[in-house]
């Protein structure tokens, strides 16, 4: 019974986002007990109380770009659009165009990029987020960045990862390079 309901939820998710959920179904069939953990990780990557939407989604996009350049990026783009992030802001994140980003987007992008690269300026980027939005936002952006990497890595580990593909943003198609992040 549990598997039936979870399977229906997974299939509904796949249909909603036009996303291949075969790796989730594989996990459900082989290790159904992990599904609660996967759901918790999904909620954790979406957790946002103090962080502006654009900063949060820029961080999620940066995290997923670190591990993927195809379907998982498209899924995150679709979720950003659904949440209300403007197309031009998403495109600026995907292409790394800081000059085209609004201030909120750029703060999330810079902090996420700094912690992903473990760069020398991560303390400066963290302080900028803390000053703008508070310590809660530092935590939220850190979680958004790191947890968004989880699903592409699981997918790849199970052999369901795909090669780079075009990301659709409205009518525009953007070619993602693996080292875009």
Read off the pLDDT of residues 125-146 as tens digits, 9 standing for 90 and up.
999 999 999 999 999 999 999 9
**How confident is the model over 21-58, as pLDDT tens digits?**
999 999 999 999 999 898 899 999 999 999 999 999 99
Mean pLDDT of 80-99: 96
Q: Percent of the chain scored above 70 by pLDDT?
A: 94
Rounded distance, CA 181 to CA 178, Å?
A: 8
pLDDT band at 2 (very low <50, low <70, confident <90, very high): confident
The predicted model scores a pTM of 0.91
- 52 vs 136: CA distance, rounded Å: 12
Which residues pair with residue 169 across a beta bridge?
172
């Amino acid at each position: 019974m549990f598997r039936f309901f979870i399977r229906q939820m997974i299939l509904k998710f796949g249909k909603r986002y036009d996303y291949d959920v075969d790796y989730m179904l594989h996990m459900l069939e082989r290790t159904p007990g992990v599904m609660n953990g996967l759901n918790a990780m999904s909620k954790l990557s979406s957790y946002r109380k103090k962080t502006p939407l654009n900063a949060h989604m820029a961080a999620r996009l940066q995290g997923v770009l670190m591990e993927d350049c195809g379907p998982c990026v498209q899924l995150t783009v679709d979720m950003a659009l659904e949440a209300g992030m403007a197309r031009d802001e998403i495109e600026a994140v995907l292409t790394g165009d800081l000059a085209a980003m609004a201030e909120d987007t750029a703060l999330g992008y810079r902090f996420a990029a700094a912690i992903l690269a473990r760069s020398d300026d991560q303390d400066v980027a963290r302080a900028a987020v803390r000053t703008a939005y508070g310590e809660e936002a530092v935590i939220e952006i850190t979680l958004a960045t790191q947890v968004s990497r989880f699903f592409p890595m699981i997918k790849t580990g199970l052999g369901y990862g795909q090669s780079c593909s075009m990301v659709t943003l409205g009518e525009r198609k953007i070619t993602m390079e693996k080292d875009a992040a």
